Amino acid sequence: FTLVEIVVVLFVIGIAAALTYAQLDRDPRDTLQREGRRFAGALEHAALLAQWKNQTLGVSAGGGAYRFWRRGSPADGDSERWVALSDDDVLAPRALPAPLIAVPQLYAGAPVPSEAVFPLSPSGRNEPYVIALASPEWQILLAADPLNRVALIGPTPR
């Protein structure tokens, strides 16, 4: 064999391997679990940040995105308003890859509207909540306990 023939064979094998890998990466459960782990990590980070900065932070999830918030400061005279966080890369607004959606399920054991903001207290003790990440066929639940530990439940068929 000549060097050119060997290079061509290696090139063909490389293309075949890349196509096989691309097909394996399309399992929607993998994407759902990856996004669930990312969101769970961000939720735990936000809860720790709320304690560290002694601020009430919040999270909202709806449609194809989720976002983190902070409570307005009393100095501004607007301590009841939620202000979008923009100074933390981990807590930046995140658009989920299509066709995933985020749906708030429960807060303190009660159903919540889709536009609800779940508060994360500076005391470190929060009400338990559940947020679902879903694709058309599968869903995964992010369940947070009062000590801000987030467990991933699933994926389960929808």
Per-residue pLDDT of the chain (158 residues; tens, 9 = 90+): 689 999 999 999 999 888 877 666 577 888 999 999 999 999 999 999 999 999 999 999 998 999 999 997 766 666 678 999 988 899 999 999 989 999 999 999 999 998 899 999 999 899 999 999 999 999 999 999 999 999 999 999 98
Residue 7 in domain:
no
Start-to-end CA span in the chain (Å): 55
- Rounded Cα distance between 60 and 69, Å, is 8
pLDDT of residue 158: 83
pLDDT at 25: 58
State residue 77's pLDDT score: 65
- Supply the range of the domain harboring residue 36: 28-157
pLDDT at 86: 85
Q: Is position 60 within any domain?
A: yes
**In a domain? residue 71:** yes
The three-point CA angle 17-18-22 to 5° equals: 115
The answer to whether residue 55 is domain-embedded is yes
Q: Total domain count for the chain?
A: 1
- Domain containing 63 — which CATH number? 3.55.40.10
In a domain, 100, yes or no: yes
pLDDT score at 75 = 66
Q: Is residue 19 part of a domain?
A: no
- Residue 94: what pLDDT? 95
pLDDT of residue 73: 72
Residue 6: inside a domain: no
Q: Which helix (DSSP H) or strand (DSSP E) does residue 32 occupy?
A: helix 28-53
Residue 37: the pLDDT is 96
Helices and strands per DSSP (H, E), number in the chain: 2, 10
The model's pTM is 0.80
Residue 72 within any structural domain of the chain: yes
Phi and psi torsions of 137, nearest 5°: -105, -25
